[in-house]
Copies of this chain bind each other. A is one copy, B any other.
Amino acid sequence: MIEEDDWVLIYFDRRRRYTIKVKKSKIFHTDKGVIYLDSLIGKNYGSRLSTNIGCNFVLAKPSFLDLLETFSRRTQIIYLKDASLIIALASIGSGSIVVEGGTGSGFLTAFLANFVKPEGRVYTYDTNRYFQKIAEKNIASINLSKYVFFKNKDITKGIDEEDVDAVILDIPNPWDVVKHAYNALKNGGVFICFLPTINQIEKTVIELENLPFIDINTYETFLRYYKVSRGATRPMAPMIAHTGFIISAKKP
């Protein structure tokens, strides 16, 4: 049963899906009409309700992913293919100690924290205090704060942590962190970076090859949606054909 301050997913269709926190006396506006949040309290997840103009929606319990998407209006799902592959390539699991360079909106930070908890930790570096505060608030809102340490520091100047399982960089100049990462990683630990241009890749890989890293690989991933219906199944036409490249390397 839904209570005040619960998160709910208001689901009309694939494109109209909103994850919000239930607050008394608040009104939520959609292009399908208005929803009085008072009216959600006491309902069960899975109920079908309608807006003031009679459009139906489903009241769903949000998944962790739905909560993550509240961090930014950008459709983060596009980067999910990259974020998830990064986790896997970095051999992250429950208990991992991870250093992140570039907190950003905290999307990847929270994604990491949800995997490493309860014993693991994420140390996230960013020089921009303003954005890091927003990320901090985002992560608090989904109860992951105790697994994350926010560091308002320039990661290209050095990494404080030692014996970490993975260093994950989403900054424009990862080559400046390669040496620090090598020192911070434990044996078998993994260096990862995510970069938009090919020139950045080349510069980073050259730097990695100057140190005893092994298993240096560069990847690009694609995600294609399908429109599935009886007798008329086809790939969907619009696609984001480039998010970024992923480099991974291992300290032996």
Contacts and interface: CB of A to CB of B under 8 A. Distances in A.
Contacts of A233: 197-199, 201-202
A93 B64 contact: yes
Given A188-B60, A219-B223, A84 B88 contact: yes
A80 B89 CA distance: 8
Contact of A61 (B61, B65, B188, B201): B188
A220 interface: yes
A94 B117 contact: yes
A212 B11 CA distance: 12
Interface in A157-190: 186-190
A29 B224 CA distance: 38
A33 interface: no
Interface stretch (A125-133, A148-156, A240-248): A240-248
A215 interface: yes
Contacts of A17: 215
Interface in A36-86: 44-46, 58-66, 80-81, 83-85
A116 interface: yes
Contacts of A238: 238-241
A91 to B, nearest CB: 4
B219 A226 contact: yes
A218 interface: yes
Given A93-B117, A198-B198, A202-B230, A217 B14 contact: yes
A251 interface: yes
A252 B46 contact: yes
Given A187-B61, A240-B238, A252 B45 contact: yes
Interface in A209-239: 212, 214-215, 217-226, 228-239
Interface of A: 9, 11, 14, 17, 44-46, 58-66, 80-81, 83-85, 87-89, 91, 93-95, 111, 114-119, 186-190, 196-199, 201-202, 205-206, 212, 214-215, 217-226, 228-243, 245, 250-252
28 contacts: A11-B215, A14-B217, A45-B252, A58-B252, A60-B187, A60-B250, A61-B186, A61-B252, A63-B91, A63-B189, A64-B93, A65-B89, A80-B88, A80-B89, A81-B81, A84-B87, A87-B87, A87-B88, A93-B115, A95-B118, A197-B231, A205-B229, A219-B223, A219-B225, A219-B226, A220-B235, A236-B242, A241-B241
